[in-house]
Amino acid sequence: MLSKMPPSRRGVAKKNAIVDAALEVVSEMGIAGLSMRVVAARAGIPLGAVGYYFAGKDDLIQAAFDRHIQRETARVTSTIASIGNSPTTDDLADRLAELVIEGLTHKRFQLLAEYEFTVEGVRRPALARASAAWQATLNIQLQTVLKNMDFSSPRTDARLILAVLAGLEVDHLPNELRPAEARTIKEVLRRLVQSLDKG
C-alpha cells in the first residue's frame, strides 16, 4: 500500500494563503460575504485550488476560525508570559489593557472576524464548540495567574475579568480607538483587578 505523500511546501503555503484570505474576507464582509470565489480572488489563486483544499464554505469557515484561535491563543499566552513571576495588580491590569488595546488597533481586523465567528456559532455548532474550548483555555491560563497572585476566588475572578475584556472590546469595536479611550480601558482594568484582589 502506498503511503500518503506529505503536503509540499508550496501546497502548505497555498492553503495558508487561502485561510488568511478567508479571515480577511470575514473581517471586512462578514460570514455572509464569504464564498469560495471571493476567497480565491482575494488570495489570487484559481477557484479550483480553493476547492482542492476545502470541501466547501463550511470547511473553509472552520479552518479560518481555527487559524484565528491559534493566533489569539499565542497572543494571550505571550501576554501572560510577559506578566512575570511576581506581578502586582497594576502589572496584571496593564498587560490585560495592552491586550485589549492591541486587539482594537493593530489586530482590529482579527477582532472583527472573531466576533463574526462568535455570532455565527449560534447557527454552526462546530464553531460554538471550538469557541467554548478556546474560552476555557483562556480561562485556565488566567486562573493560573490569579492563583499565583493569591487571589481569593481565582475561578470566579477569571470569568469576571474575561467578561469585562469582552465587554470593552465590543463597546469600542465599531469605531477607531482614540487615545482617551485607551486610557479609560487601562483605568477600568486597574480598578477591576484591584477590587478583586481586595476581595
Distances (CA, A) of 139 to 73, 107, 136: 11, 21, 5
pLDDT in tens, 45-73: 999 999 999 999 999 999 999 999 999 98
Helix, strand and coil percent figures for the chain, each rounded to 5: 80, 0, 20
Grid cell, residue 71, equals 493566533
Distance, in Å, from the CA atom of 20 to the CA atom of 63, rounded to the nearest integer, reads: 10
Residue 126's nearest CA partner among 73, 72, 57, 26 is 57
Stated pTM of the model = 0.87
Per-residue pLDDT of 95-122, as tens digits, reads 999 999 999 999 999 999 999 999 999 9
* CATH number corresponding to 57-198: 1.10.357.10
Give the separation between CA 113 and CA 187, rounded to whole angstroms.
Answer: 27
Domain ranges of the chain: 57-198
Local structure of residue 121 (DSSP, 8 states): T
What number is the average pLDDT over the span 150-168? 96
